[in-house]
Amino acid sequence: MQWVKGNKTIEVSVKDIIELANKFDSVHVDLGTGDGRYVYELALKNPRILCIGIDPVKSQMREYSVKCVRKKLDNVLFLVSSIENLPANLAGIADKITIILPWGSLLRQVLNPSKETVRKLEKLLKKGGELEIVLGYSVELEPSEAKRLGLPELSEGVVKNVVIAGFACHSEKLKTSEIDSFSKEKLSDIGSNWAKKLAFGKYRQIFLVKFVRVF
Ligand SMILES: C[S@@+](CC[C@H](N)C(=O)[O-])C[C@H]1O[C@@H](n2cnc3c(N)ncnc32)[C@H](O)[C@@H]1O
């Protein structure tokens, strides 16, 4: 896999990632990490957590990866990959997976997850590990993407009957532990750049859904 490490891109094997993970108390994977700000802040505050940001767009992760190198953070990995291409053999590595404000094919997989995707996420988590998804798209504010992806208007009903039902279809191990809804202002607490951007934008409702891997 490709690891965006500061200004360089180097190859890292699954074995290397597992060995590194074993040196930390826990592992947090942020899928669709974007520019990586969330992972940077998380790593800065939690030196005993290995923070792994994953995104298919390599160039996006460069800025915060450079910041991590400058701060000499040894608990960060920025990997070039996607929800579709997650390596199957990273099994049981993650205590937590976050998917914050997914878009494009990542959002499509959250709304209509394939069996393969759900199984990969389930497998990536340790027993007791959490998958946290923050949804905040708006059909009204993003009409062209909504049309392209065929997005339903975001609501509690969609979270329950589409997202949760979609995951439940393919996994008995992932159980919903929390559903929350809040207004966009609270997004700034999350700390990712998209969350901050949307917090200052037009009104939209945000939904948080948490799953726990129960066995
Ligand atoms: C709206 S941005 C949110 C970025 C970040 N989570 C944040 O809150 O700042 C959505 C991100 O999902 C990534 N993405 C799109 N399709 C993806 C996929 N199939 N797998 C993983 N990430 C994907 C995009 O490259 C983009 O960085």
Last residue of a domain, one of 52, 81, 110: 81
Cβ of 137 closer than 6 Å to ligand 1, yes or no, is: no
Domain match, 68 and 117 both: no
The atom of ligand 1 lying closest to the CA of 98 is 6
| Total domains present in the chain | 2
Domain match, 22 and 114 both: no
Domain match, 119 and 212 both: yes
The domain of 16 spans 1-81
Domain match, 72 and 169 both: no
Cβ of 60 closer than 6 Å to ligand 1, yes or no, is: yes
CA of 33 to the centre of ligand 1 (A): 6
Whole-number Cα distances in Å, 48 to 74, 78, 188: 10, 17, 24
CA of 185 to the centre of ligand 1 (A): 21
CA of 156 to the centre of ligand 1 (A): 22
Domain match, 73 and 16 both: yes
Domain match, 27 and 7 both: yes
Tell which residue, 133, 173, 135, has the closest CA to residue 151. Answer: 135
Burial of 178 from C-beta contacts in 10 A (0-12 / 13-18 / 19+): exposed
pLDDT of 24 reads 98
Last residue of a domain, one of 27, 53, 81: 81
Each of the 215 residues of the chain gets a pLDDT tens digit; together they read 999 999 999 999 999 999 999 999 999 999 999 999 999 999 999 999 999 999 999 999 999 999 999 999 999 999 999 999 998 889 999 999 999 999 999 999 999 999 999 999 999 999 999 999 999 999 999 999 999 999 999 999 999 999 999 999 999 999 999 999 999 999 999 999 999 999 999 999 999 999 999 99
Tell which residue, 35, 99, 42, 126, has the closest CA to residue 76. Answer: 42
How large is the C-alpha radius of gyration of the chain? Answer: 17
Q: How far apart are CA 74 and CA 47, in angstroms?
A: 8
Domain match, 64 and 112 both: no
What does DSSP assign to residue 84? T
CATH number where 57 lies? 3.40.50.150
Domain match, 55 and 97 both: no
Domain match, 71 and 153 both: no
Domain match, 110 and 215 both: yes
What does DSSP assign to residue 204? -
Last residue of a domain, one of 81, 100, 135: 81
pLDDT of 88 reads 85
Best mutation site among 33, 61, 108, 187 for ligand 1 pocket (most ligand atoms within 8 Å of CB): 33
CA of 78 to the centre of ligand 1 (A): 13
Domain match, 73 and 95 both: no
Domain match, 77 and 134 both: no
